[in-house]
Amino acid sequence: MPGAGSSLVERVRYVIDSEINPGVASHGGRVSLVEISADGEVVLEFGGGCHGCKQVDVTLKDGVEKTLRERIPEIRAVRDRTDHSSGSAPYYKRA
């Protein structure tokens, strides 16, 4: 667990690794931090079973963003930059 003086990046990575990725791993997925903007926007990339999954928007808004914003109040938004049209093995295939 990051200490009181930890950077925003360290805290976000910790929440992703300890809380978010164990959940999405059950569907063969993973979430990676790409960047954090100066105004508190977290940019993520989804991989594995999440890459191309038709439920990724629900996972992002109701799971990942909600968890990150609850744990780290200075986060203003969470965005997915993954090109989901190129997913090769999504957990839920798009129609």
Residue 43 lies in a domain: yes
Residue 94 lies in a domain: no
Q: Is the pLDDT assigned to residue 90 strictly greater than 90?
A: no
The pLDDT score that the predictor gives to residue 72 is 96
Q: Are 58 and 27 in contact (CB under 8 A)?
A: no
- For 58-80, the pLDDT digits (tens) are 999 999 999 999 999 999 999 99
The pLDDT score that the predictor gives to residue 94 is 75
Q: Are 15 and 70 in contact (CB under 8 A)?
A: no
Whose CA is closest to 80, among 95, 62, 65? 65
Q: What is the pTM of this model?
A: 0.91
Stronger pLDDT, 14 or 91, i.e. the higher one: 14
Stronger pLDDT, 87 or 27, i.e. the higher one: 27
Residue 1 lies in a domain: no
- For 1-36, the pLDDT digits (tens) are 888 899 999 999 999 999 999 999 999 999 999 999
Number of domains in the chain: 1
The CATH number given to whatever domain includes residue 29 is 3.30.300.130
